[in-house]
A and B are shown apart, each in its own frame.
Chain A
Amino acid sequence: EVQLVESGGGLVQPGKSLRLSCSASGFNFEDFALHWVRQSPGRGLEWVAGIDATSPTAVYADSVKGRFTISRDNAKNFLFLQMSDLRSEDTALYYCVKGGFQLLFHWFDPWGQGTPVTVSS
């Protein structure tokens, strides 16, 4: 069974940094693209970043480009999201999501349970 378990969320002040982790199991981690998606009452579901399996090529939403960095450790089956210069609008539940063999043209399945990030002074 594919499992994705996020961790690292919490309360952080504006302008600070936070690193999210996602532990994956139940599939050949190194063969699949992975993504971070966030959800908040004000912005709904919003894709944040994605990384392909091997290049690794990373892509970002405009709203986080230059502030967030997605990375992966294929040896340990972990996905990361380094978030810096955090803003109040980054407050959301962050999901780790499995994609397909390439970044595009593949749906998101499954989703982790999410880790909450609150940016507030």
Chain B
Amino acid sequence: DTAVSQTPKYLVTQMGNDKSIKCEQNLGHDTMYWYKQDSKKFLKIMFSYNNKELIINETVPNRFSPKSPDKAHLNLHINSLELGDSAVYFCASSSSWYFVVAETQYFGPGTRLLVL
């Protein structure tokens, strides 16, 4: 059983299009995250949700809109895609967002987005 799954794995699209990435976790975790990994492999947090509530919203263009229909799912919708949005997007989950000592974050396999 895959703990954190994402779809699609690859996404190739034209500039200006709107696209969505879906994420599901079956670990029973309360907290889910979206990360962006650029071409230099730098991993940066974009958003986190705890039990459907937005906790972290980093400086991300408002073309990116996360949605959490329930605590096991976190989707990412991107409007008006730009060339600079090309990256690998990772979903992750952890048992909670409120910790002093870092908890284990479980990552999905990533969605490779290429904007042409």
A and B form one complex: no
